[in-house]
Amino acid sequence: MHLYNLTLQHQTAINQAVHGNFSGTPKSQEIVVGRGSSIELLVCDPTTGKIKTICHHDVFGIIRSLLSFRLTGGTRDYVAVGSDSGRIVILEYSSEKNAFERVHQETFGKTGCRRIVPGHYLAGDPKGRAIMIGAVERQKLVYIMNRDAEAHLTISSPLEAHKHYTLCYAIVGIDVGFENPTFACLEYDYEDCDNDPTAVSVKKTQQTLTFYELDLGLNHVVRKYAEPLQDPGNLLIAVPGGNDGPSGVIICCEGYLVYKNLGDQPDIRCPIPRRRNDLDDPDRTLMIICSATHKTKSMFFFLVQTEQGDIFKVTLETDDDLVTEMKLKYFDTVPPANSLCILKSGFLFVAAEFGNHELYQIANLGDEEEDEFSSRTTLEEGETFFYGIRELKCLLHIDTIDSLCPLTDAVIGDVAREDAAQIYSLVGRGPRSKLKVLRNGLEVNEMAVSELPGNPNSVWTVKKNVEDRFDSFIVVSFVNATLVLTIGETVEEASDSGFLPTSPTLGCGSIGDDSLIQVYPEGIRHIKADKRVNEWKTPPRRQIVKCAMNRRQVAIAMTGGEVVYFELDLNNTLNEFTERKLFNSDVSCISFSEIAEGELNSRFLAIGTVDSSVRIISLDPNDMLMPLSTQNLPCPAESLLLIDTPNEDGKGAATIHLNIGLQNGFLFRNTVDNVTGAIMDTRTRYLGTRPVKLFKVICQGRSAVLCTSSRSWLLYYHQRRFNLTPLSYTNLEYAASFNSEQCAEGIVAIAENTLRIISADKLGVAFNIQSFKQKYTPRKAVVHPNASSIITIETDHASYTETTKTMKRNEMADDIERLANDNEEMQLAKEIADGLRTNIPDETTFGAPKASKGKWASAVSLINVQSGETMSFFEFPQDENAKCVALVQFARHPDSIMILVGCGVNESLQQFQTSTNPLKPVKGCVYTFHLSPNGDRFDFLHRTETPLPVSALHDFRGMSLVGFGKYLRMYDIGQKKLLAKCENKSYLKK
């Protein structure tokens, strides 16, 4: 038996991202992203700039490639998916169902991510006539897209374009207008290399740019043209053709961009610029990792991104359909991406390779930038242009999507002493790395916090008029008083609300079109728009204990179990129903069902009594206040809430859910029959140790339930399923929905003696994430046994330590000053040198300089997980890479805890020594640090050398076990180094 599994947290990495009009809404654009085994539809709100997830689908496979395409004359885009299923799948988004529907699913090969089975590459004809799906080796298939008589998308049988002994690096569809669809591929023919044992052919064989043409008349694919490339390429960019541009492709090679096209077009070759005064290894080549194309009726341009994250704007100058010049301009620097998407609304979406994904708004196109690099500039072979990096100028950061990719290590435990476990994950690469603390719960945005004169017991929001978009009053009830606040640019106390301030309030709201109602223990106040007040008083020695209301109905429960029902007539007068309902037990909670569309009144009234039962009461005029159904409970109900859930397609009657909060901390959720009022399908969930109170709030335009117990929870409908998630926030006691100009879907709540306005925007996530910066890529983490702190080791390959960076900057600055000849040059050189020494780029934005292979930078740090402060930091010397860490308690010092870090010295990723690149002698070492008793700092004690890099450390019976190579040694602590006691050598059998 094989079972599918769904994780608590969806995958956060984005491997593929495409954009288009998938919903069919005119002039709208959405983004479809592939997250490993799931696919999502994202939309960017142009007013708020926030990214929202519209649809999420688990595909139970691995998404390898995505492609958006549109049929000629169509108004919406389809999504083609290449996966490990051995099939090509065409999806269409249905706005009515809020889901992706499978239009076609064609099988062409075996399952799995195989090198000879297509699925790794997808390319489409710009006119939407054909799609090529390719494998890493040998196989390529072409499918023709068309319409049937009913204008539905059809797909043809696969047409083969295979070639043996061929590796494929990139595939793209060429814009040739309405001529036969053409595809360009970067290929490498290894047949001669495979048959040559001397390996001479490897040096002679060149990568080729190959064009494949689909002959629509003969219905087959031909290999039209192949040209060997001078520089090996890794990426192809299609250039608009037809009436929009010159067609052809831009090949992204090592250090160069090359434009090529069929016919008489000469090659246009432009070097990729490099950063000025950069500390990077000068022998490193620069590559383009991703690109995005923006096309309008009058112009087009490309954004290409280098490995360092720098984006260049690329434009082409043409003369009679011939490209004469390629121009590059430095645009901005963003995190290195897997995909870039330029939306017509002016946003740039960056699906980052490592770390969080970002959304930017394009503020300008960089036309005013002075530095422009042209292919016409004559340079020697190997030379390039230089530019200076700067802060964001063309882009404006708008929103961020959290990502836990790559996750290098994780620790689970209640390190922060919060009575609930946290997940401490080491995430990222290089200076953009983070220690992320994951807490189960929704992230809450705190808008305002105000202290109140005493501890309130309840809060509501009220609108003056039914047509008002925003709330007008916040009503706060105390033990013996009521405070009314007006909502505007500021929240102030109201003096003419009509509410009775000298009595506590049991409930309030809008009634009718423009009236307010206040229920207090001694009666009901009906406040009309002209400030006239009608009051209904309770009988002598009787008080109101619970109430419920909507726009036309009011129900109150008095002491003794008596329920009185009121309705609003056409004259805006609140009339009492002639008969009253008397229960054998006191009423503990009461709630109206929501008013169905097309009706004036609610159909049901739910009443909970102290005898541990809940009854559904009819409000139909023919059987008014008659019991319809009863549910017995294990303990008395604390609160009730009837909520309607509309159907996905918007058709048919909504489903009524009865939510019951019990005094023992449980939440019961039931379904109520729309006609008979029968209670069915009971589901339970334990929320906390305190009685559960329920409050109706609004989330994404739909009704949701805020539950308060010993912890606050939010029950909401998202992505076609109900989610019950705790809030990562202080415990709330009472809440109400809040809607203002500054906060559209907020919550006003009370906690102790404070009034708080909050909102929960990031729905659908299981964890609230808090991030702390790391210097290098974090590798391992250990937790202090007694303090709220965590120890991490960080290591980066091909990297410099801070000491080495400072030394290299000083050397570069000294060389600049030394080359100056006269006074004017010396003055200019001094300014440049001083700027080089002092203006150090922010590595979290621009990345760290890349050193040559075999260079290492490492550090160990002690972090307080509550504040995020780095309390101690120790950086190891250059070329020592930290590999493992452990907390050891030696028998000689039973009251002290030591931090041991195992390192490799001069370790190389190269496995074999060659005559041209000999290996340095590789050793290892163990660093010992003393950890303070309260866990707020550590101090360096000594360094112990080992014959080989240390790969494992462990605390063992008052000593330390150290593993390196095939040796396992036991060390005790000494004054100047660790003392070897015994060792075990393992012999590997051949």
At 741-776, the pLDDT tens digits run 888 889 999 998 999 999 988 888 889 899 999 999
What is the domain count for the chain?
Answer: 3
Confirm if 454 and 753 have CB atoms less than 8 A apart.
yes
Mean pLDDT value of segment 118-125: 96
Of 191, 193, 183, 75, nearest in space to 134 by CA: 183
Of 211, 216, 263, 212, nearest in space to 72 by CA: 216
Mean pLDDT value of segment 496-518: 90
Q: What is the pLDDT of residue 333?
A: 95
Domain membership of residue 233 (yes or no) is yes
Whether 874 and 787 share a structural domain: yes
Whether 138 and 270 share a structural domain: no
**Cis peptide bond upstream of 126, omega within 30:** no
Confirm if 15 and 66 have CB atoms less than 8 A apart.
no
Confirm if 17 and 31 have CB atoms less than 8 A apart.
yes
**917 pLDDT exceeds 70?**
no
- 432 three-class SS: helix
H or E segment and range at residue 815:
helix 802-818
Give the pLDDT confidence of 828-859 residue by residue, as tens digits: 888 888 888 888 899 999 999 999 888 999 99
Classify residue 811 by its DSSP letter: H
Q: Where in the sequence is the domain holding 147, given as residue range(s)? A: 1-155
Whether 121 and 267 share a structural domain: no
Q: 913 falls in which pLDDT band (50, 70, 90)?
A: very low
Quick one: how many helices (H) and strands (E) in the chain?
Answer: 5, 77
Q: What is the pLDDT of residue 761?
A: 82
Q: 952 falls in which pLDDT band (50, 70, 90)?
A: very high
- 974 to 531, 866, 945, 971, 979: CA distances (angstroms): 86, 34, 13, 9, 6
Q: What is the pLDDT of residue 990?
A: 42
The average confidence (pLDDT) of the chain is 91
Q: 671 falls in which pLDDT band (50, 70, 90)?
A: very high
Q: 368 falls in which pLDDT band (50, 70, 90)?
A: confident
- 899 three-class SS: strand
2 or 247, greater pLDDT: 247
Mean pLDDT value of segment 169-191: 94
Mean pLDDT value of segment 621-646: 91
Sheet holding 923-931, edge to edge: 880-888, 897-905, 923-931, 938-946
Q: 918 falls in which pLDDT band (50, 70, 90)?
A: low
Alpha carbons 904 and 133: distance in angstroms, whole number: 44
Tell me, letter by letter, the H, E, C secondary structure of 696-746. Answer: EEEECCEEEEEEECCCEEEEEEECCEEEEEEECCCCCCEEEEECCCCCCCE
Alpha carbons 393 and 370: distance in angstroms, whole number: 13
Beta bridge partners of 236: 251
Whether 386 and 254 share a structural domain: yes
Type of residue at 500: L
Give the pLDDT confidence of 384-426 residue by residue, as tens digits: 899 999 999 999 999 999 999 999 999 999 998 888 899 999 9
- The two three-digit tokens of residue 362, written as one number: 């394009």
Q: What is the pLDDT of residue 915?
A: 46
Classify residue 200 by its DSSP letter: H
**4 pLDDT exceeds 80?**
no
Whether 144 and 239 share a structural domain: no
Whether 234 and 361 share a structural domain: yes
Domain membership of residue 612 (yes or no) is no
Q: What is the pLDDT of residue 782?
A: 95
Domain membership of residue 588 (yes or no) is no
Domain membership of residue 879 (yes or no) is yes
Domain membership of residue 42 (yes or no) is yes
H or E segment and range at residue 308:
none
- 222 to 108, 157, 171, 179, 225: CA distances (angstroms): 20, 16, 15, 14, 9
Q: What are phi and psi of 352, to 5 degrees?
A: -70, 150
Classify residue 35 by its DSSP letter: -
Which of 463-472, 791-800, 858-867 shows the lowest mean pLDDT across its residues?
463-472
Q: Which long-range contacts (CB under 8 A, 24 or more apart) does 838-844 make?
A: 840/809, 841/389, 843/430, 843/431, 844/431, 844/432, 844/773
- 804 three-class SS: helix
Name the residue with tokens 């890479």: 881
- The beta strand positions in 280-394, using DSSP E, are 288-295, 300-306, 310-319, 322-333, 337-342, 347-352, 357-362, 373-374, 386-387
Which of 311-315, 336-340, 759-763, 840-844 shows the lowest mean pLDDT across its residues?
759-763
- 447 three-class SS: strand
Instruction: Give the CATH number, domain containing residue 857.
Output: 2.130.10.10
Last residue of a domain, one of 155, 171, 202: 155
Q: What are phi and psi of 442, to 5 degrees?
A: -80, 140
**242 pLDDT exceeds 90?**
no
Domain membership of residue 878 (yes or no) is yes
**614 pLDDT exceeds 90?**
yes
Whether 238 and 145 share a structural domain: no
Mean pLDDT value of segment 49-63: 89
Whether 92 and 241 share a structural domain: no
Q: Give, in degrees to the nearest 5, the angle at Cα 381 between 375 and 383.
A: 75
Q: 2 falls in which pLDDT band (50, 70, 90)?
A: low
H or E segment and range at residue 832:
helix 823-838
Q: What is the pLDDT of residue 854?
A: 87
Whether 390 and 242 share a structural domain: yes
Confirm if 61 and 84 have CB atoms less than 8 A apart.
yes
139 or 45, greater pLDDT: 139
Last residue of a domain, one of 381, 405, 429: 405
Q: What is the CA radius of gyration of the chain?
A: 35
How many Cα atoms sit within 13 Å of 757 on the Cβ side? 16
Q: What is the pLDDT of residue 154?
A: 94
- The two three-digit tokens of residue 373, written as one number: 């690099």
Domain membership of residue 952 (yes or no) is yes
Domain membership of residue 112 (yes or no) is yes
Whether 148 and 294 share a structural domain: no
How many Cα atoms sit within 13 Å of 895 on the Cβ side? 2
Q: What is the pLDDT of residue 987?
A: 62
Last residue of a domain, one of 361, 382, 405: 405
Confirm if 226 and 211 have CB atoms less than 8 A apart.
yes
Q: What is the pLDDT of residue 417?
A: 87
Q: Which residues are CB-contacts of 989 (< 8 A; sequence separation ≥ 6)?
A: none
Q: What is the pLDDT of residue 492?
A: 83
Torsion angle, CA of 478/483/484/489, rounded to 10 degrees?
A: -110
Q: Give, in degrees to the nearest 5, the angle at Cα 888 between 882 and 890.
A: 135
User: 122: exposed, middle or buried (C-beta count within 10 Å: 0-12, 13-18, 19+)?
Assistant: buried
Q: Which residues are CB-contacts of 376 (< 8 A; sequence separation ≥ 6)?
A: 325
Whether 122 and 241 share a structural domain: no
Whether 796 and 898 share a structural domain: yes
Mean pLDDT value of segment 687-705: 92
Q: 490 falls in which pLDDT band (50, 70, 90)?
A: confident
